[in-house]
């Protein structure tokens, strides 16, 4: 009997390929369920159709509740898969969240800069090697962006920034695990982050936001004239810093062209101020355009300096440099977004009601000496409303800009905005849709790539008063799903989210579905060091369960297979340094085990064919049970053994 609850069935149906795993690995615990129980689950789910109530009508423009055949368009039936992956930043939690769209169901959380007791991130040896020694216990993760090839998502990596601790991290898409984290020198607080689109994501670019003295070692504390920040290029394959560019002002957001020539970044605080009054004095700030080839040549020819404490090449890209172009724009620009046709990049005014549209072709002409005035690269400056922040695209020539103060999304046509800038009488505004409330980022399905498909838009709103049940003074944020497939935007659903998502990408499942592993590969580099230590100790991880004492260091090896560990007990002495290495030898996908030692603050997850390890000091004498934390078997509660710590 077949059912449609597994991915393999769906991939056959959609023609997107099937899993490459063997027959054993392809098994799921779902196949072990009785068909009657499964039918009961599906039957219970039938009543969920259209279960999301339409948002309050008074907060919208009469375009809510889009349906298809009487069923809410965001409804994904039991056993069916979402069409898109949503890659959400976790904001102050320091994590990434993987969603399904259009259902907006949260699928999993990927810890990055934070500790996570569920899987042992920040606890296991493997995660500590990624986080580094003495890692901060959190982060402020803003901008997740997937690697690309020729302007198309390629499903290799997701890169993210940490504004709180000036770091950049890389997540492997095949296992959804963070595998590299680096600190960015000569900068303070990384905000904007984007990947090079073409020909392939080699560089990952990030903006240092806060200006500080260089070096920032206690001198020049009260001399803002000696404060600077840098634009940083990271080699995404090695996660090593390639070069940095010294700039004027505070860098904010950034985006790349589709030819691998340029990066553009919004930049505020042209005044060089250190307080609110200082930030607001002048009427204009700028967008900085970085000429990548010229910068690379300057580095190759030695036209750079290094800053004390770092060997990173730093070139001078301040006003007057041939490496950069400073385009004057209205005060405090914020969002920086390139259009999927490869023609334009826009900067949102924030404190101006306008969006500035610049043409990459004009930027080419400026660097070639054919244009003299930096403002000549501007081809349109349409007026949107109050507080424009970020812009997304549908691939049909339309742009969608968030208005923070007006609490709206504006749909506008780029070609018509250009005609209006040239003096023609055309209306470039197509529609304004009320959202709830104060939208920041918005993203369209595949809208950051050449494959923008114009189906969905998500508005990530900062406020949510009156939208959900009250839960105390800290409100959830509100992500709203908007249908943009027709001529009018239609608000489909409100989704409460924990503080503060900030940004997202929407990636079609064809990019990732067959690249994501269902079980670990035994030779995966993520746990290579544990494998190397076992080999040195003469241990075969897939079969051996053994205790090795080396002075006051004890290494405990064991397997896990539902419903038992390879060791019923092990004995150590108080004060021993104990390393426990566990290999999950189950081969059924989603048959995950956990390892938690009572009263020791230790827990880690071990998925099928994975090896995980943890090191700690046995400082509490007595009997300490360790047990499985993932419900893996009918005898799950009995899956436990003892650690005996001698006084």
pLDDT at residue number 13? 37
pLDDT tens-place string over residues 45-77: 333 333 333 333 333 344 556 666 667 888 999
Give the DSSP per-residue string, 75-132. Answer: ---TT---SEEEEEE-BTT-EEEEEEETTTEEEEEEESSS-BTTTTBTTSHHHHHHH-
**Among 319, 341, 363, which residue terminates a domain?**
341
Q: Would you say residue 49 lies in a domain? A: no
Residue 56, in any domain of the structure:
no
Decide if pLDDT at 11 tops 50: no
The whole domain housing 10 covers 1-38
Give the pLDDT confidence score for residue 63 in this predicted structure. 54
d(CA 91, CA 95): 7
Show the CA angle centred on residue 240, arms to residues 238 and 244, nearest 5°. Answer: 140
Picking from 295, 317, 341, the residue at the C-terminal end of a domain is: 341
Residue 279 lies in a domain: yes
625 in any annotated domain: yes
CATH code of the domain containing 531: 2.60.40.420
349: in domain = no
Which band of pLDDT confidence, cut at 50, 70 and 90, is reported for residue 442?
Answer: very high
Assess if residue 303 is contained within a domain: yes
Residue 592 in any domain: the answer is: yes
Query: Which residues does residue 547 pair with via DSSP β-bridges, in sequence order?
Result: 556
In a domain, residue 202? The reply is: yes
Q: What does pTM read for this prediction?
A: 0.90
Position 370 scores a pLDDT of: 97
pLDDT band at 5 (very low <50, low <70, confident <90, very high): very low
Furthest CA-CA distance within the chain: 87
Average of pLDDT values for 26-35?
37
Flag whether pLDDT at 30 surpasses 80: no
Residue with tokens 């944020």: 477
Average pLDDT on 223-237 reads: 95
- For the segment 463-520, what is each residue's pLDDT rounded down to a tens digit? 999 999 999 999 999 999 999 999 999 999 999 999 888 999 999 999 999 999 999 9
CA distance 49 to 9: 22
Average pLDDT over residues 641-646: 97
Tally of structural domains, the chain: 3
Which residue, of 341, 368, 399, is where some domain finishes? 341
Burial class, 194, CB count within 10 angstroms (exposed 0-12 / middle 13-18 / buried 19+):
buried
């Amino acid at each position: 009997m077949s059912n449609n609850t597994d991915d393999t069935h769906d991939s056959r149906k959609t023609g997107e390929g099937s899993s490459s795993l063997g027959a054993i690995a392809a098994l799921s615990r779902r196949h072990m369920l009785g068909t009657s129980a499964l039918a009961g689950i599906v039957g219970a789910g039938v009543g969920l159709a259209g279960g999301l109530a339409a948002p309050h009508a008074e907060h919208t423009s009469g375009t809510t509740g889009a349906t298809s055949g009487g069923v809410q368009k965001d409804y994904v039936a039991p056993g069916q898969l979402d069409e898109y992956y949503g890659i959400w930043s976790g904001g102050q939690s320091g994590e990434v969240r993987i969603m399904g769209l259009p259902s907006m169901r949260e699928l999993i959380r990927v810890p990055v800069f934070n500790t996570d007791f569920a899987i042992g991130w920040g606890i296991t040896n493997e995660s500590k090697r990624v986080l580094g020694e003495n890692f901060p216990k959190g982060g402020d993760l803003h901008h997740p962006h997937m690697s690309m090839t020729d302007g198309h998502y390629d499903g290799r990596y997701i890169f993210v920034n940490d504004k709180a601790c000036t770091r950049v991290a890389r997540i492997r898409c095949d296992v959804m695990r963070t595998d590299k984290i680096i600190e960015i020198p000569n900068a303070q607080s990384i905000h904007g982050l984007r990947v090079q689109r073409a020909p392939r994501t080699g560089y990952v670019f990030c903006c240092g936001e806060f200006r500080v003295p260089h070096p920032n070692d206690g001198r020049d504390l009260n001399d803002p004239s000696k404060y600077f920040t840098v634009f940083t290029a990271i080699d995404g394959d090695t996660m090593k810093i390639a070069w940095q560019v010294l700039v004027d002002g505070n860098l904010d957001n950034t985006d790349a062209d589709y030819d691998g020539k340029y990066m553009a970044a919004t930049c505020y605080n042209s005044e060089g101020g250190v307080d609110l009054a200082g930030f607001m004095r002048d009427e204009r700030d700028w967008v900085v355009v970085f000429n990548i080839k010229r910068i690379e040549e300057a580095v190759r020819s030695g036209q750079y300096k290094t800053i004390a404490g770092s060997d990173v090449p730093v070139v001078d890209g301040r006003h007057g440099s041939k490496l950069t172009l400073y385009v004057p724009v209205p005060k405090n620009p914020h969002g920086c977004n390139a259009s999927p046709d490869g023609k334009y990049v826009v900067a949102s005014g924030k404190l101006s009601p306008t969006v500035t549209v610049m043409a990459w072709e004009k930027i080419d002409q400026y660097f070639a000496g054919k244009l003299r005035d930096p403002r000549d690269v501007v081809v349109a400056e349409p007026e949107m409303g109050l507080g424009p922040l970020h812009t997304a695209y549908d691939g049909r020539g339309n742009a969608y800009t968030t208005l923070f103060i007006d609490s709206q999304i504006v749909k506008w046509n780029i070609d018509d905005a250009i005609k209006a800038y040239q003096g023609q009488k055309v209306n470039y505004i197509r529609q304004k849709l009320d959202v709830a409330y104060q939208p920041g980022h918005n993203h369209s399905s595949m809208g950051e790539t050449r494959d923008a498909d114009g189906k969905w838009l998500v508005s990530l709103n900062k406020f949510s008063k009156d939208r959900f049940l009250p839960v105390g003074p800290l409100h959830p944020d509100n992500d709203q799903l908007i249908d943009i497939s027709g001529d009018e935007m239609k608000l489909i659903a409100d989704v409460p989210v924990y503080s503060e998502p900030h940004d997202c990408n929407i990636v079609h499942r064809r990019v990732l579905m067959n690249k994501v592993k269902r079980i670990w590969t035994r030779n995966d580099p993520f746990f290579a060091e544990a494998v190397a230590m076992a080999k040195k100790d003469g241990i075969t991880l897939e079969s051996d369960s053994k205790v090795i004492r080396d002075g006051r260091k004890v290494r405990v090896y064991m397997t896990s297979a539902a419903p038992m560990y390879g060791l019923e007990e092990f004995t150590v002495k108080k004060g021993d340094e104990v390393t426990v290495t566990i290999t999950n030898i189950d081969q059924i996908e989603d048959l995950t085990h956990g390892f938690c030692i009572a009263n020791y603050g230790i827990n880690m997850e071990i998925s099928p064919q994975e090896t995980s390890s943890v090191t700690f000091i046995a400082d509490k004498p007595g009997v300490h049970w360790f047990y499985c934390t993932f419900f893996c078997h009918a005898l799950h509660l009995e899956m436990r053994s003892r650690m005996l710590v001698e006084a």
